[in-house]
C-alpha cells in the first residue's frame, strides 16, 4: 500500500499530452587550462607567439587581435589593467573557420605552429 502514493506522485510528473519534457541545452563551460601562454599577455607578446595578426581592431582603450589558421580563428581581447597601462589579454574566443565551436587551448596550440603568422 505504501507504493500507491508514490505512483500518484510520479503520475503528476508526466508532461501534458504524454510528451517528454526536455531541458534547455546549456553551453559547456570553458576552462582556462592551456591558456597561460596567452592570458595576461601584451599585443607584442602575442605577435611574437603567433606572428602578425590577421586583424587588429581598436575601440577606445580596448583592442582585439585576431589570428587565423586553417584549423581555427582566435580573437584575443586586450584591455588596460589600469588607466595608462599597456593593454593585456583578458578574454579569448575561438572557433573553427566555419564558425563551429573549438576548444580555446587547442586553437592556441594550433596557432603556435602556423608559419609566418598564417
At 20-68, the pLDDT tens digits run: 666 665 444 455 567 999 999 999 999 999 999 999 999 998 999 999 9
**Is residue 98's pLDDT more than 80?**
yes
Q: What's the confidence (pLDDT) of residue 117?
A: 47
Provide, rounded to the nearest whole percent, the portion of the chain with pLDDT above 90: 60
Identify which has the larger pLDDT, 58 or 18.
58
**Under DSSP, is residue 93 helix (H, G, I), strand (E, B) or coil?**
strand
Distance (Å, whole) CA 57 – CA 39? 18
Q: What's the confidence (pLDDT) of residue 28?
A: 46
21-57 burial: b if 16+ Cβ within 10 Å, else e: eeeeeeeeeeeeeebeebeebebeebbeebbebeeee
Amino acid at each position: 500500500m505504501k507504493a500507491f502514493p508514490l505512483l500518484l506522485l510520479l503520475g503528476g510528473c508526466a508532461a501534458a499530452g504524454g510528451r517528454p519534457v526536455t531541458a534547455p541545452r546549456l553551453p559547456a563551460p570553458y576552462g582556462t587550462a592551456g591558456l597561460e601562454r596567452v592570458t595576461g599577455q601584451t599585443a607584442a607578446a602575442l605577435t611574437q607567439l603567433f606572428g602578425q595578426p590577421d586583424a587588429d581592431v581598436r575601440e577606445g582603450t580596448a583592442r582585439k587581435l585576431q589570428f587565423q589558421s586553417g584549423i581555427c580563428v582566435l580573437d584575443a581581447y586586450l584591455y588596460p589593467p589600469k588607466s595608462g597601462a599597456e593593454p593585456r589579454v583578458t578574454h579569448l574566443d575561438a572557433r573553427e573557420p566555419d564558425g563551429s565551436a573549438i576548444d580555446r587551448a587547442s586553437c592556441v596550440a594550433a596557432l603556435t605552429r602556423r608559419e609566418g603568422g598564417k
